[in-house]
């Protein structure tokens, strides 16, 4: 059990729609990172949240936004979905320099 929970596990959306993915980090972890993993590739950093603020952002367009709540859980929002947004979205619960991952949300855009 990773201790990091993500929901939903699978999602199918239509181009142009908006989606919200959710993550609960491990107990006691106050930092969350989001990654996108396209098929056959390694994860790509989207952004990191700490103390409810976006602390660092990767090379993703503004269509990707996030939020962190006082209980450290986090959401990833993607607007105006494109076919190319189809991927596995991973949430990482951060402790020091270590990242603990959830099972991910498989997003398919049709």
Partner 1 sequence: AQSVSQHNHHVILSEAASLELGCNYSYGGTVNLFWYVQYPGQHLQLLLKYFSGDPLVKGIKGFEAEFIKSKFSFNLRKPSVQWSDTAEYFCAVHMDSNYQLIWGAGTKLIIKP
The contact pattern for partner 1, residues 80-99, with x = CB under 8 A and - = no contact, is ----------x-x----xxx
Which token pair is 71?
Answer: 């209980």
Binding flag, residue 48, partner 1 (CB under 8 A): yes
Give 9's DSSP letter.
S
Task: Tell me the window of 21-29, 37-45, 67-75, 77-85 that interacts with partner 1 (CB under 8 A).
Answer: 37-45
Scanning the structure block, which residue is given the tokens 């919200």?
A: 20
3-state secondary structure of 89: strand
Compute the least distance from the CB of residue 17 to partner 1, in Å: 27
Tell me whether residue 91 is exposed, middle or buried, using C-beta atoms within 10 angstroms of its C-beta: 0 to 12, 13 to 18, 19 or more.
Answer: buried
Applying CB under 8 A, the residues found at the interface with partner 1 are 2, 4, 33, 35, 40-45, 48, 55-56, 58, 90, 92, 97-104
């Amino acid at each position: 059990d990773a201790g990091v929970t993500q929901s939903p596990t699978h999602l199918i959306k239509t181009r142009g729609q908006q989606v919200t993915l959710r993550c609960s980090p491990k107990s006691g972890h106050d930092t969350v990172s989001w990654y996108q993993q396209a098929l056959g590739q390694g994860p790509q950093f989207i952004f990191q949240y700490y103390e409810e603020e976006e602390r660092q952002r990767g090379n993703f367009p503004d269509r990707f936004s996030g939020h962190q709540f006082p209980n450290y859980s986090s959401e990833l929002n993607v607007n105006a979905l494109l076919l190319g947004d189809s991927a596995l979205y991973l949430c990482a619960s951060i402790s020091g320099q270590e990242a603990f991952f959830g099972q991910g949300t498989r997003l398919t855009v049709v």
